[in-house]
Amino acid sequence: MTSAPAASALQLTAEQQAVLAAPPSAHLTVLAVAGSGKTTTMAHRIAHLVKKHEVPPAQIRAVMFNKAAQLHFERKLNALRVSTDAAKVQTWHALSYALIRAAERQGMIDEAPLLTDQISILRAVGECAREALADRSEKPEEDDGRDAESCLEAIREWKSMLVLPSHAGHSDDDFLVDVYSRFEKRRASERFRTFDDLTADAVRLLETPRGESAFAARFEHIVVDEFQDVDLAQFRLLTLLASSRARVTVVGDDDQTIHEWRGARSGFIRGGFARHFRTHPHLTLPLTRSFRFGAAIAQCAWNAIAVSTERVPKDLFAHDPRKPSRIVLRTAPEETSEEPEVNLAEADALIDDIQSLRATHVPLCDMVVLGRSWTQLLGMQWRLLAAEIPFTVDQHNAFVEDPSLALLRQYLTLVERFRDPLDDATARMLGVLVNRPFRKVTKQGIVKVIEGVRTTGGSIADVLFDEAAHKLAGIFPAASAALRHMGSVLMKASRLAEEPCGAAVVIRMLRREIEFREALAAFRSEESVAACLRAYEVFEGFARESACTLRALDEIVRAVDTTQGVPTHECLRVTTVHRVKGLEWKHVFVPECDEGRMPILSEAQSECFDTKDASKTDGRSSALESERRLFYVAVTRASECCWISCGDATARSRFIDDALIEETQQALDAFKRAADQTPIDAPILRVMLAALESSSVARRGCELAFAQSALAPPALA
């Protein structure tokens, strides 16, 4: 595939030209709104440095957020005839790994192979977690409930903050600190690195006199993309590499900082860089004109983000205000029954919109469904399946591996296997679930009972109902009674499981009889618990519509082919907002944009910190502002239309109200009517703006972006 022709420098906007022509002696912060052509601008900046200022390409290093961005940027540079063999473009991981390998070859540090297999890493973390659990003295009988993924998430964030295990702290869970310490000891003894170690290890290398002498101050210019998502380790590595020599250009948008949960800090682009890098003059330059979308999306997105108290004030204009764009709200009818089934009216409204687009020959690959969380997307997946719309789900198969359904599906497995001889997998699962929710069953006791039952070829029923075995194993009477009650529930469910609609009946019964809220609340936030319980409702609805036995439901779920045989690149994509950095689609669908789902306030802030250095958590955003950015990023992925479904005015997300969608569209329509009658010029625009002073748009202090766009080329004629 050949690269698209590069834009001529003469085709750049005035703002892009300003970045291009900025003094080569200065540090630059380029604040680039969504779709503003920052990649093109940075490529031209590097070409300008090479051709105009005769900077040797080998003295320039560009750092990208991921591999896809690296390849895209390399194509841009090659089209401008800048050699990427000399002016290297690397990801943070690649840059760090290159430094470490060079140091290993020179004997500066011990060699340690890079472990890239995620399953092996999770297995090692899981073993460390089990060791830590076995050594706990506090409530040793209670199963911990954490999985390896949650432990690894915390470990990653501590490493991104350069926090050693001896200094690691967690505001809610010291157990995670213990797992981190054990994992690092294991890593040291087995001599391996993971991707999460590369940047931190590179920092420690450059902090040594020998490492600084070998690797610091090697470049004249360093360009860093997506700087809003840089973490402390990356910022420190940049500082060490630049030293007092390099002039550094950082590019990004603080309004799109959506990865703080894994260590990113918007504070670096919101002034931290300028305060820290003082070796050369510093300039801040904006790229405020978006080539991606038209006036309606530009203005509504700006309305929603402009009320943030934690951002650098900046405008967002549509480069071409004539470009068609809109935001469509789909409001679900209120639930009226006393005990409603799961209400998927919001999803159904969006399904109708997708079908309407397909009827006009809009390809599915031009559409995406974006959620704040995977749970938020479950209902939409169900309705897409029912409508036979081919789609792909990032990261896992529809329903089968969705983490929000894990606990319920484990209970369903126990129901299916209730009378079967215990195998290893079922025994392990049962040993965990007897204390989810916590039934005060000692771990040693349940292990003894399970081992005894397995010697005689017994089943789950034998484990839960044998009161004498409970007593011999040291299980207290109250805990034994709780086990027998659990057995009664599972036995009743197993009898119903093979009825024609048994799957839905069993799920409904388990939802009523098992204290799932208590089980989930032990290690999840209130909003996360609510999301999981909502997912259980959705899954019950799917089972009811499938009208099948429990065993058949499992087969149906595992056999689901969301693509229906269509190549994945031709399917509609279903994913979370966190996974669409730098991407765009013509049509974006955001389901269930309601309070408690977007925003989810209690999950937006990390609880990891450094017990010896509080400054390592500086620059963290508040939960509300982190969530606001997710909404902003979702809306700005659309080039033509963003379709948002929500509940009524009392349920819908506050961000929808902040966006002033209806008011903005009314104002746009007024301008369009005037434009149809009279060529728009500056005096007329001022009169029209004055006429809108009584509107809620004006009261909120929103200068209409489409009006400002019309004052500059290309003007409306």
pLDDT score of 712: 40
pLDDT score of 146: 59
pLDDT at 694 > cutoff 80: no
CA distance 576 to 538: 18
Average pLDDT in the 497-514 region? 96
Q: Which fold has domain 319-396+562-654?
A: Rossmann fold (3.40.50)
CA distance 665 to 300: 9
pLDDT at 544 > cutoff 60: yes
pLDDT score of 612: 93
Domain 403-559 bears CATH identifier 1.10.486 = yes
pLDDT tens-digit readout, 32-41: 999 999 999 9
Domain 14-106+200-285 homologous superfamily, CATH? P-loop containing nucleotide triphosphate hydrolases (3.40.50.300)
What residue ranges in 534-691 does DSSP mark as E strands?
A: 572-576, 585-590, 608-610, 638-646
pLDDT tens-digit readout, 207-217: 999 999 999 99
Residues 6+ positions from 424 with CB-CB distance below 8 Å = none
Residue 663's pLDDT band, with cuts at 50, 70 and 90, is: confident
For residue 448, the one-letter residue type is: K
For residue 599, is the peptide bond before it cis, meaning its omega torsion is within 30 degrees of 0?
A: yes
Does the fold of domain 319-396+562-654 match that of domain 14-106+200-285? Answer: yes
pLDDT tens-digit readout, 321-336: 888 999 999 997 655 5
Which of 170-174, 626-630, 665-669, 706-710 is least confident? 706-710
Percent of the chain with pLDDT over 70: 87
Q: Where are the domains of the chain?
A: 14-106+200-285, 118-192, 319-396+562-654, 403-559
Among 161-165, 307-311, 527-531, 666-670, top mean pLDDT goes to: 161-165
Q: Quick one: tokens of 162?
A: 């350069």
Burial bucket for residue 316 (CB in 10 Å: 0-12, 13-18, 19+): buried
Average pLDDT in the 186-198 region? 96
Residues 6+ positions from 130 with CB-CB distance below 8 Å = none
pLDDT tens-digit readout, 641-661: 999 999 888 889 999 999 999
pLDDT at 707 > cutoff 60: no
3-state secondary structure of 223: strand
Average pLDDT in the 666-693 region? 58
Considering only CA atoms, give the Rg of the chain: 28
pLDDT score of 397: 67
Average pLDDT in the 679-687 region? 50
Burial bucket for residue 687 (CB in 10 Å: 0-12, 13-18, 19+): exposed
CA angle 688-255-330, nearest 5°? 65
pLDDT score of 709: 41
Average pLDDT, the chain: 88
Euclidean distance between the first and final Cα of the chain, in Å? 38
Residue 135's pLDDT band, with cuts at 50, 70 and 90, is: confident
